[in-house]
Amino acid sequence: MSDDLTDLVRDLERRFADLSLAHVTAWKAEAPGRKALGCMPVFCPREVLWAAGALPVFIRGGGDQLETIRGDAYYQSYICHLPRSTLELCLGGWLDALDGMLFPNTCDVIRNLSGLWSSVAPGRFSRFLDPPQTYDAPAAVGWWRGELSRLYLDVCAMTGTRPSDEALWASISAWEEPRGALAKLSRARAAQPWNLPADEVYLLRRAGDAMPPREFTRLVDCYLACAVARKARREDRIRVVLVGAFCEQPPLGLLRALERAGCYLVDDDLLLGAEDLVEPVDAVGDPLDALARAYLVKGAGSSVRYDEQRARGLELARRARSLHADGVVFAAPSFCDPALLDQPRLTRALDEAGVPYTAFKYSEDTGQFQSFREQAGTFSDSVKLWGRA
Ligand code: SF4
């Protein structure tokens, strides 16, 4: 690994490990009046926040670095871990760099968390975002535009920014850059996963959770240039797509365990939200209308979007084929209703398409990876022995 790449990855690791969001505090200190707004997975209207002068910051729980004690007191045992560690972060002052929080209607758990938030962070800006669940009704665009508009005006009032269409268009254009860079990263990873290991790619994408768009684009370009030049040896591993880990994140060690067990992760749905639109926003007409339309029509499919055409399973099978994946690994957080309720439908489509798969559950604070490694290793061996997709 070149010195540049070693340093870059070390920086990414440091940033990932910093739960106190020192990089956000530093960004705010660079100019008076800057604000930062946290957003829970899996949706954040970053263009709107950025146009209003606020840095969007995805909050994806405390991972395996935080002992959750007080956060546990708020939830029953049969709820996923993410809201507990997020409350722990808030109660422990780890989120003090943020000037508010957004809660998209990802699931009941996040919806309930938005209500709890007003008692643990009283007086701080907080907003529940409820995107429409139907996508082609004209009324859905109008309604969603109204929600985004209200949010824009409120955040502008908070930051002291004058609302304008120019600022919105500039922000929409700014966020297309990291989307383009991430698409390049995704293609490079699928083409040569031995040069772009899953843990590095993940750390890089996590950095984008709290970084201005241009800065993040430069970072991705820099990583890509170094990574494809490293000429790592290609190993006899199977190519897999990871599905279901879009909200509560698996520990980094789990991603490493999967690759060490004989898999190349060529695609995943981790960090959904930061990778939200599958096509650019149409830059015509009213910017908020264009954004609302883009979200509804061009939003990435996921288990938290109503699948009106019931096409998600077919789409997954198609995606696996187009990436020459040998199989699919379903990795869902324990008690995650959206991921686990979607799984039977997806596996049925994979069965019909003849794509092998395996499934397991994790928690963000899982500390032992041996069983995952054994399961992934067995899956890899069986695919090699008895046939690839
Ligand atoms: S992990 Fe699943 S159940 Fe938990 S907050 Fe996220 S989407 Fe909801």
Ligand 1 midpoint to CA 110 (Å):
7
Per-residue pLDDT band for 85 (boundaries 50, 70, 90) equals very high
Distance CA 300, CA 141 (A): 17
Q: What is the pTM of this model?
A: 0.95
| 3 three-state secondary structure | helix
Residue of 74, 78, 110 to test ligand 1 pocket, by largest number of atoms within 8 Å of CB: 110
pLDDT, averaged across the chain = 94
In 219-321, the DSSP E strands lie at 238-243, 263-268
| Residue at token pair 């772009």 | 196
CB-CB contact of 15 with 204 (8 Å): no
pLDDT at 304: 87
Peptide bond into 241 cis (omega under 30): no
Mean pLDDT for the stretch of residues 4-19: 96
Q: What value, to the nearest 5°, has the Cα angle with vertex 94 and ends 88 and 96?
A: 120
Output the DSSP codes for 81-111: SHHHHHHHHHHTTTTTT-SEEEEE-SSHHHH
Ligand 1 midpoint to CA 82 (Å):
7
> Is any atom of ligand 1 closer than 6 Å to the C-beta of 245?
no
Distance CA 328, CA 330 (A): 6
pLDDT at 161: 95
Ligand 1 midpoint to CA 267 (Å):
20
Percent of the chain residues topping a pLDDT of 90: 85
Per-residue pLDDT band for 6 (boundaries 50, 70, 90) equals very high
Distance CA 48, CA 151 (A): 8
> Is any atom of ligand 1 closer than 6 Å to the C-beta of 336?
yes
pLDDT at 48: 97
Beta bridge partners of 359: 330
CB-CB contact of 372 with 254 (8 Å): yes
Give 230: exposed, middle or buried? Use CB within 10 Å, 0-12, 13-18, 19+. middle
Which tokens is 160 given?
């002291």
> Is any atom of ligand 1 closer than 6 Å to the C-beta of 247?
yes
Relative to the CA of 80, which ligand 1 atom is closest? 4
> Is any atom of ligand 1 closer than 6 Å to the C-beta of 113?
no
pLDDT over threshold 80, residue 231: yes
- What would the pLDDT profile of 103-138 be if each residue is shown by its tens digit? 999 999 999 999 999 899 999 999 999 988 777 778
Mean pLDDT for the stretch of residues 32-40: 94
345 contact partners, CB below 8 Å, separation of at least 6 = 310, 312, 313
Distance CA 10, CA 301 (A): 33
Sign of the alpha-carbon dihedral angle for 241, 173, 175, 286? negative
Ligand 1 midpoint to CA 30 (Å):
34
pLDDT at 388: 60
Ligand 1 midpoint to CA 109 (Å):
6
pLDDT at 389: 54
| 58 three-state secondary structure | strand
Ligand 1 midpoint to CA 334 (Å):
9
> Is any atom of ligand 1 closer than 6 Å to the C-beta of 193?
no
Which tokens is 362 given?
């994790």
Cα distances (angstroms) measured from residue 389 to each of 212, 320, 331: 40, 9, 19
> Is any atom of ligand 1 closer than 6 Å to the C-beta of 82?
yes
| 64 three-state secondary structure | coil
Calculate Rg over the CA atoms of the chain: 20
> Is any atom of ligand 1 closer than 6 Å to the C-beta of 273?
no
* Spatial CA neighbour of 328 closest among 370, 378, 379, 290: 379
DSSP state of 150: H
> Is any atom of ligand 1 closer than 6 Å to the C-beta of 337?
yes
